[in-house]
Amino acid sequence: MRNLSSPRRSFHITLITCFCGLLAAVCASCANLPSAPSDAPPRLSPQGAATESEKAALIRWLSAYAVREQSRSGIPASITIAQAILETGWLRAETPVRRRMVLKAKNLFGIKGEGPAGFVEIPTTEYEHGRTITVIAKFRAYHSYSESFEDHSRLLTTSPYYSDALKYRNDPRKYIREVARNYATDPAYAEEVWSIVRRYNLRRFDTK
C-alpha cells in the first residue's frame, strides 16, 4: 500500500493547489476585461450617446476594440476611446456630415485619405494661422468598425509623424500631446481628448 503522506504526493498536492490559485487569478482578471467586440454599435438616439446610460454603453463597445488594439500596438486604450468619442461627437448621426463619416464610412477617428473601402468627401473645420476655415476633405472609408480601429493603430505606430510619441505610450497624457502635434490642427485637441479620459475614468481600460 502506497504511503499517502509521502513527500512526492505532498509536492503534487502543492503543485495542483498553486495551479488552481493561478487559474482563479487569471479568470478574475479576465472578468474585468471588455467582452469581444461586435461590429454593430449600441443602439443610440440620432443625437448619439446623449444620456449617461448611452454613453456608458458606447464606452463599453469602444473599449472592447481599444483594449484589443492596445495588446497589439501598445497605444493606450484610454486615448483610443477618447479620440473616437471626440472625432464622432459621441457617435452622432443626426447630420448628413456625421452620417457619412460614422455610419457610411465607418470612420471613427477622422483619418483623411483613401481607405480600404474608398473615401467620402466631407466639409471639415481646420485651423490655419490662428483662424478657422472650412474645407472639403477626403476621409478614409472602411468595411467595418474593426477595420477603422486597426487602421488607427497602424497609422500611429508606423507613420514617421508619430514616431516620437511611441516612447510615451506608458504615459497617456504625454502620448496624446505628442500625437496631437501632427494629428489635428486644433491647438486644443490634446486637452480635449484628455478631458474625456479624465471625466469618464477611461484609464481603467489601460492594460499593463
Q: List the grid coordinates of 102.
A: 460614422
What does the pLDDT read at residue 38? 65
Residue 166 predicted with pLDDT over 90: yes
Can you give the C-alpha Rg of the chain in angstroms?
A: 22
Q: Is-contact 65 85, C-beta < 8 A?
A: no
Question: Which residue out of 151, 171, 191, 206 is catalytically annotated?
Answer: 151
What does the pLDDT read at residue 40? 74
Lowest mean pLDDT among 2-16, 157-171, 188-202: 2-16
What does the pLDDT read at residue 208? 63
pLDDT digits (tens, 9 = 90+) for 7-59: 444 444 443 444 444 444 444 444 444 555 667 778 777 777 889 999 999 99
Averaged pLDDT for residues 151-167: 96
What does the pLDDT read at residue 149? 97
The C-alpha angle with vertex 190 and arms to 184 and 194, in degrees rounded to 5, equals: 140
Per the model's pLDDT, the better-predicted residue between 187 and 37 turns out to be 187
Question: Is 151 designated active site?
Answer: yes
Per the model's pLDDT, the better-predicted residue between 176 and 98 turns out to be 176
Whole-angstrom distance between the N-terminal and C-terminal Cα of the chain?
50
What does the pLDDT read at residue 41? 77
**Spatial CB neighbours of 149, under 8 Å, sequence gap ≥ 6:** 65, 66, 68, 69, 80, 108
pLDDT digits (tens, 9 = 90+) for 85-139: 999 888 876 666 777 788 889 999 999 999 999 999 888 777 777 777 788 889 9
Please check whether the domain covering 38-205 is classified as CATH 1.10.530.10: yes
Question: Which residue out of 39, 94, 126, 171 is catalytically annotated?
Answer: 126
27 vs 31: CA distance, rounded Å: 6
Residue 2 predicted with pLDDT over 50: no
173 vs 193: CA distance, rounded Å: 9
pLDDT digits (tens, 9 = 90+) for 68-85: 999 999 999 999 999 999
Question: Is 164 designated active site?
Answer: no
What does the pLDDT read at residue 29? 43
pTM recorded for the entire structure: 0.77
9 vs 122: CA distance, rounded Å: 71
Compute φ and ψ for 116, nearest 5 degrees: -60, -30
